[in-house]
């Protein structure tokens, strides 16, 4: 794996943005995003405790102070979009991404998640709630596996941290899950992405695909015949 310094990363971003602005038909610069689950993921940056460790402090001020530092780090190198926090609730600890979450309790995850968002976004960087929704509860804890969950459980548990971060912290971005819920892929779920997220929770920010979620509508879920159909289905 190649590790670049922050200075090397800045130069790469500037060069890439210049090409987009000067050498493409529309001249639109890119949104620069980064992972920052335990801190800005670049060589030499500070690494903080995992979200499980942060949540275990039971101190939202501490979480906000930590993510304020992360947000400043991101902003200092031209990053616009932070791909955290993970607000999935863990119901089965066999699931392999448990350490990325804030645990099993919807209230703790909601309070700490909102604090995480406030710290990041006070620096002008957009935080991203993920993975919306039910991602952490696939059958037999198999990552990307189908989620068999009724809407009562979804509302009472899985959606609570997302709702608080949207309503209280005014988060700017939500990332959909790779999984399907009751047979409907989240990336193409009108129920989740329109009726619940926008109409009920009042979210007015940007929904972003987990990296391959739209491609997976064709390749994994089999509800689209090609890339164009997958993109159209997600937009619809």
Active site members: 210
- Closest of 46, 48, 43 to residue 7, by C-alpha: 43
Inter-residue contact 230 to 217 (CB < 8 Å): yes
214: left (phi over 0), alpha (psi -120 to 50) or beta: alpha
> Is the omega angle on the peptide bond into residue 131 within 30 degrees of 0, that is, cis?
yes
- Closest of 111, 210, 122 to residue 163, by C-alpha: 111
Pairing of strands 128-132, 81-82: unpaired
**Is the Cα dihedral 73, 76, 79, 81 positive or negative?**
positive
- Closest of 152, 139, 140 to residue 183, by C-alpha: 139
Query: What CA–CA distance (Å, rounded) separates 210 from 218?
Result: 15
DSSP 135: T
DSSP 196: I
**For 120, what's the count of Cα atoms within 13 Å in the CB-facing half-sphere?**
33
**What is the DSSP secondary-structure string of 38-52?**
TB--SBTPPPPPPHH
């Amino acid at each position: 794996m190649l590790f670049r310094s922050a200075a090397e990363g800045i130069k790469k971003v500037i060069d890439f943005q210049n090409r987009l602005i000067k050498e493409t038909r529309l001249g639109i610069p890119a949104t620069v995003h980064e992972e920052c689950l335990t801190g800005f993921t670049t060589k030499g940056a500070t690494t903080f405790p995992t979200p499980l460790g942060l949540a275990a402090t039971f101190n939202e001020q501490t979480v906000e102070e930590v993510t304020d530092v992360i947000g400043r780090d991101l902003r200092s190198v031209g990053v616009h979009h932070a791909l955290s926090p993970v607000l999935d609730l863990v119901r089965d600890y066999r699931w392999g991404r448990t350490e990325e979450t804030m645990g099993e309790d919807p209230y703790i995850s909601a309070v700490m998640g909102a604090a995480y968002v406030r710290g990041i976004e006070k620096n002008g960087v957009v935080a991203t709630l993920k993975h919306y929704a039910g991602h952490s509860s696939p059958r037999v804890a198999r990552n990307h596996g189908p989620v068999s969950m009724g809407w009562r459980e979804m509302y009472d548990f899985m959606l609570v941290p997302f709702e608080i971060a949207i309503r209280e912290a005014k988060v700017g971005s939500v990332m959909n899950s790779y999984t399907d819920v009751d047979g409907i892929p989240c990336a193409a779920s009108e129920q989740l992405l329109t009726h619940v997220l926008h109409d009920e929770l009042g979210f007015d920010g940007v929904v972003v695909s987990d990296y391959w979620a739209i491609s997976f509508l064709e390749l994994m879920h089999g509800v689209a015949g090609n890339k164009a159909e997958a993109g159209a289905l997600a937009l619809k």
